Amino acid sequence: MSEINELIKKKLESFPSDVVTLAMEAIEKSEKGLPEASVTEYLENVVRKIIRNRRSEE
Amino acid sequence: MNMSGDIRVKTDRKYRNLYNDLKNFAVGDMHELFFLCSCLGFRAKKKKNLGGNGEDRFWSRTITPEEYACYYAMMLEESNMDLSAIKDDTTIISEMEKYANAGMEILLDDFLSEYCSSGLKLDSSISKELPKALLHFIYEQL
Amino acid sequence: MILDELVMKNFRQFRGVQRIIFASEADEGGKNVTIIFGENGRGKTGIFRAIMFCLYGERCLSQDEGVTHKELYLVNSPVLQEATSDGEPVESYVELHFRHKNERYSLKRSLQGILDGDEQLEQLGPVVFSRIQSDGNTKNYNDPDEIKRIINDVLDRNVKEYFLFDGEKIQRLTLSSVEQKREIAKGIKNLLNIDALEKAIKATQKLKKTLNTELGKRATDEYKRVIFQLNELDESRDILEDQIRQTEEEQYHADVEKKQIDKKLEECKEILHLLKERTGTEEKLKYEEEQAKNLLAEMKTRTGKASLMLVFKTIDHVFGSIDKKKQKGEIPSEIRKDLIEKILTEKRCICSREILPGTESFNQIILWKNKSADTDLESAALDMWRYLSGIRNHRDDISGTVETLLLKYANCKNEIEKLRSKIENLNNQIGTSERKDTADLEKHRENIEEKLIKLEAKRINLKADLDILESDYERLSEQRKVLEKEENIKNELVQRAHLAEDTCNALQAVYDEFTDEIKLKIADEANKYFVQLLDKESRETLRSILVKDDYSLQILDRWGKPFLANISAGQRQIMSISFIAALANIAASGKILEMPLFMDTPFSRLSFEHRKNLIEMVPGFCAQWILLATDTEFRKQEAALLRKNNRWGKFYLLQSDGPGITIIKERVVADSQYILSDSVEES
């Protein structure tokens, strides 16, 4: 992970863990040079997974 | 002074746009505009009930201690210095809502109408100097 | 990146093969300064252009704005004319040798030129690129995309403008225009390297929209209406932001056009003094308009306090009344109650008189006791009394501030009117000049000015509309949450939509925090350089550089007041160089950035003391300094200073060798005292 991403992660610490997970996925995928639409598509699946996990834990 | 922070301060539904627009163009925050209207209503000794038209506008926690102190003072003067008039913040705020409601009418009649485009909405194209005009209006009332 | 050698063949003015070897820290004695000296028109900018062409394949520089590719020839025209008689094309190339992180690179970009009738045609040729790695192995590259990527890793094409720049660029950084803000924002964003973060924000915004649209389709009743309205606001926000961007783009182009006209107008010498006066007055006008804007913003925050004036009478009355009660001892009543209880128990007054039950005095005291108020209410009244007392103490301040603000605003408006009428007057004088082309240009300029004013008004209105939209959005979001709570809406889709929105907001917050921090850091660093580079007189007037929220640069005078409109052209250059040095320092995390600082005619507007400071300081804070200097700015005095600090390694002269042809000659540094002229002002 690049230096700037480490800093971003640090700044995100105060947010809920689900937000941090999704935000970091968004940054990592954006950094890999994927087009914006593909990043969004990928994130849709990540959000689905996070919420499913959250609901099954509840 | 209790200075309760958990009261939802109401204003008339029809002034919703005006409160939002004035917050953007002319005043720092909602509570300041409400304070101005309350003072205008109080000076003119005019109150107007909100009836069923009240709509939550802001939380009382944003009201400054100085503003609260003035609300208490208005209540005391109105009641001929009867201390029981400052017993309950909800009652005080509710009385101020009536003053502010009448105060907004005064503000509209004497000042704001020329800045409104259609009905109760500010015309952004002529409101650039509104902060100055509003201060001037307040100054003129003295 | 450190530049080692530049080789050019038939490129621009440079006929045949010509080369420049640059001085760098690695040389004997740590000499890192190269001076390339030539009169105007000899091809200084051609050298700058050669480097840009070789590294990035760019034919145009930022200063060529408005010039098309077709009008700008890279192959030497006289050579091409001679070759045409033989029917042969002419080969031209630029070769650059440089180092970066212990590896050596060699890059050669070529092109061919041919004359077709009157038209000069140029075709790009192959790019040859090799890298000698730290282990001594050489690797050759042919794939243009890979070459582009490697070069970009060495020196990002966006960042390059801050290290390889011309005199024009230095000016641009200090003008209060859209262009300036754009330059600074670009520099800061490049420095932060937050492209991925920006993309992530956009992707989560899109995700939020997709999920909310989905939610809108499935929701019912009031909730559906709110979601629908939120989606509509999202759409409107996109449109508004787009309109703001477009307006700023139009402002930028109008600004560029205005500058081009000004350049042409400057050629008409007889009105030069009027033009200068107009530019100065326009800057002052901008400053006053900015002041008026700031005053309005300050007034906005004063309404609450000013409203206190409306109830001063009530404040006095109630304060007086409570104060009297306090003095009489009626408030706080605990003392009185204690006293009454004591008298009643001891049946004796404080004057020792006996008070027996059933007597009139006893009954009076009982009445008095019953009248005592609730202690909570008394304490509330005392709190209020204290706050009212505070307000009364500041009474004069409150009304004084309002009066001062109104007065300041009136003065400011007055000044704006005066300046506007002065500009109109100057416009008339310039417009009545005998030259018809000047009059036409003047008319055109007026139209652009008008357009700029309209565009600025449009931009302000759009921003205001955006603010209103944001507060509507906030209100509706609140309403949405209340509805979700009341109607117990917590299905999977709602949760997904919320997570997307929260993530989008979190990323935006991090982004804002980043840019704010870096703005402060850059301003801090820039000030360190600024203080060292300024001459003594300027140091007494100017205090510090400020990077404002909207990315514009401001300078504060010794009393902390904005002063940008009043500083000289030289001070502006020093301000810009300080800003660039700060960018470089932060990019290198406090070390010396391994990057050449390449400046095209940077001294022309500087005082001798400023030049002296630059010459003494710059070689210390950059790894390599390459100066393209002209005879009016680099003279014996400057050369002597540069020789004194022992950092000057290479000295080249650009000499004419017939029309359109320049040859590069290397001279020893010591020769500068014979070659360069004396300074008129200093001698």
Q: Which chains does chain B touch, 3 or more C-beta pairs < 8 A?
A: C
More confident residue, C349 or C3: C3
Nearest to C597 by CA among C170, C192, C151: C170
pLDDT for C102 equals 85
Q: How far is A56 from chain C (nearest CA, A)?
A: 11
Spatial contact of C90 and C115, defined as CB atoms under 8 Å apart: no
Per-residue pLDDT band at C542 (split at 50, 70, 90):
confident
Question: Which residue does chain A place closest to C510, by CA atoms?
Answer: A11
Sort out which chain C residues have CB atoms less than 8 A from A50's CB and list them: 499
Give how far Cα C69 sits from Cα of C61, C117, C121, C595, Å. Answer: 11, 18, 11, 29
Residue C18 φ/ψ, nearest 5 degrees: -135, 150
Per-residue pLDDT band at C575 (split at 50, 70, 90):
confident
Distance from C-alpha of C570 to C-alpha of C343, rounded to nearest angstrom? 86
Note whether C149 contacts A: Cβ–Cβ < 8 A.
no
Q: What number is the ipTM of this complex?
A: 0.96
Residue A4: which of C193, C199, C503 has the nearest Cβ?
C193
Distance from C-alpha of C574 to C-alpha of C531, rounded to nearest angstrom? 10
Residue C607 φ/ψ, nearest 5 degrees: -75, 165
Query: Model confidence over B68-122: pLDDT tens digits?
Result: 999 999 999 999 998 889 989 999 999 999 999 999 999 999 998 888 877 778 8
Does the structure show a pLDDT above 80 at C557?
A: yes
Residue A30: which of C199, C502, C506 has the nearest Cβ?
C199
Q: Average pLDDT, stretch C346-360?
A: 80
pLDDT for C679 equals 56
Distance from C-alpha of C676 to C-alpha of C665, rounded to nearest angstrom? 15
Mutation pick from A9, A12, A27 vs chain C, by most beta carbons of C within 10 Å, is A27
CB atoms within 10 A of CB C421: 10
pLDDT for C683 equals 32
Mean per-residue pLDDT over chain C, rounded: 84
Q: Average pLDDT, stretch B47-64?
A: 91
Q: Average pLDDT, stretch A42-51?
A: 93
pLDDT for C428 equals 82
Per-residue pLDDT band at C360 (split at 50, 70, 90):
confident
Query: Model confidence over C163-203: pLDDT tens digits?
Result: 666 555 556 666 656 666 676 677 666 666 677 888 899 99
Give how far Cα C566 sits from Cα of C549, C561, C571, Å. Answer: 21, 11, 10
More confident residue, C523 or A7: C523
pLDDT for B100 equals 96
Mutation pick from C229, C294, C303 vs chain B, by most beta carbons of B within 10 Å, is C303
pLDDT for A16 equals 93
Query: Model confidence over C592-648: pLDDT tens digits?
Result: 777 788 887 777 778 888 888 888 888 887 888 999 888 878 888 889 989 888 889
Alpha helices by DSSP H, C534-644 = 536-541, 569-587, 608-621, 636-644
Does the structure show a pLDDT above 70 at B137?
A: yes
The DSSP code sequence of B4-60 is: -S--EEEEEGGGHHHHHHHHHHT-S-HHHHHHHHHHHHHHTT-----GGGEEEEEEG
Domains and CATH numbers, chain C: 2-155+595-675 (3.40.50.300), 192-272+427-516 (no CATH)
pLDDT for B92 equals 95
Helix B30-43 with B65-78: angle, nearest 10 deg? 20
Does the structure show a pLDDT above 80 at A43?
A: yes
Distance from C-alpha of B57 to C-alpha of B13, rounded to nearest angstrom? 9
pLDDT for C97 equals 96
pLDDT for C681 equals 44
pLDDT for C370 equals 65
Q: Average pLDDT, stretch C212-239?
A: 88
CB atoms within 10 A of CB C174: 24
Per-residue pLDDT band at C89 (split at 50, 70, 90):
confident
Does the structure show a pLDDT above 90 at A19?
A: yes
Query: Model confidence over C495-528: pLDDT tens digits?
Result: 999 999 999 999 999 998 888 888 888 899 889 8
Query: Model confidence over C427-462: pLDDT tens digits?
Result: 887 766 545 667 678 888 889 999 999 999 999 999
Q: Average pLDDT, stretch C404-427?
A: 91
Tell how far CA C3 is from the center of its chain: 29
Sort out which chain C residues have CB atoms less than 8 A from B35's CB and list them: 304, 307
pLDDT for C385 equals 93
Does the structure show a pLDDT above 80 at C212?
A: yes
pLDDT for C166 equals 59
Q: Average pLDDT, stretch C665-670?
A: 92
Per-residue pLDDT band at A2 (split at 50, 70, 90):
low
Q: Average pLDDT, stretch B59-72?
A: 93
Per-residue pLDDT band at C325 (split at 50, 70, 90):
confident
Percent of chain C with pLDDT over 70: 87
pLDDT for A50 equals 93
Spatial contact of C602 and C565, defined as CB atoms under 8 Å apart: no
Contact pairs from chain A to chain C, CB under 8 Å = 88
pLDDT for C538 equals 84
Sort out which chain B residues have CB atoms less than 8 A from C306's CB and list them: 135, 138-139
pLDDT for C415 equals 93
Name the range with the highest mean pLDDT among C143-152, C219-228, C309-318. Answer: C309-318
